[in-house]
Amino acid sequence: MNCEWLVRLDGYVDGELSPEKRAQYEQHLRDCPSCASTALSRLQMKRGIRAAAAGRYRPSAELRFRVARMTSPRPRASFPWLPQFSLAVAALVLVMVAAALWLARSRPADFASELLDLHVSTLASANPVDVLSSDRHTVKPWFEGRLPFAFILPNLQEAPFRLIGGRLTYVQQAPGAQLLFGLGKHQISVFIFQQSVRQLRSSTETRELGFTIDTWTQDGLRYAAVGDTEPAQIRALRQLFQAAHSNKP
């Protein structure tokens, strides 16, 4: 049983022998039933381990999303000056937002409250959406002809969010789209309007009654995301929209 050839069995099973050594080994296996049976069982074991361990644990979509965002070319790595720059930008934005807030006074707050009301009443409604589908290729065409503009719906495959559906809505007498997304048990509305709807120019994030309202502009449209999740998740949803826009063919 204690055949000297057993020492090289691992190398044989793992394909680490040179072609000549391998041929010699196979010749030996033909001559030695004991080694042949052990080799067979080792090969089975190797295969069994692979089958038992492969894909045993799967990463969550959320982790993939986080890691993909970290490794995507946008992050700092190649911009060592970015920290100072972003600090300056942040300061500038702060000044601008303060000035705009001062100029616009209550207007953005009214706008935010209106969106918040719309969001809450949608959730309370028995039929929250006019078009119920998790398929963006169903939801987006539904709005065609109902709205005087077109928008881009991001691909959510790698993201933790799921599309629930959409509905027509009105803010300040202007028609817009309201898209409903799910994240765990939370729901987030994304509103899309033409820019003529009056409110702040720059992106803002406001909080009201535990809700986060994040607004931004892209492609000549006003967007606003409203939900009761962590503000970071609302921002992540916004980034998906912004990324979808910049990836547009």
Touching another protein, residues 60-99 (CB under 8 A):
60, 63-64, 66-68, 70-75, 77-78
Touching another protein, residues 18-37 (CB under 8 A):
37
Q: Which of 27, 30, 49, 207 binds another protein (CB under 8 A)?
A: 49
Residue 245, φ and ψ in degrees, nearest 5: -65, -45
Rounded to the nearest 10 degrees, the angle between the axes of helix 61-71 and helix 231-246 is: 60
Q: Which of 27, 30, 44, 96 binds another protein (CB under 8 A)?
A: 44
Angle at 83 between CA 77 and CA 88, to 5 degrees: 145
What would the 3-class secondary structure string for 138-179 be? HHHHHHECCECCCCCCCCCCCCCCEEEEEEEEEECCEEEEEE
| Shortest reach from residue 188's CB to another protein, in Å | 23
Stretch in the footprint of another protein (CB under 8 A) among 58-66, 94-102, 146-154, 163-171: 58-66
Choice between 16 and 208, CB closer to another protein: 16
If binding is defined by CB under 8 A, does position 107 make contact with another protein? no
Give 57's Cβ-side CA count (13 Å radius): 2
Binding site for another protein (CB under 8 A): 1-2, 6-7, 9-11, 14, 16, 37-38, 40-42, 44-46, 48-60, 63-64, 66-68, 70-75, 77-78
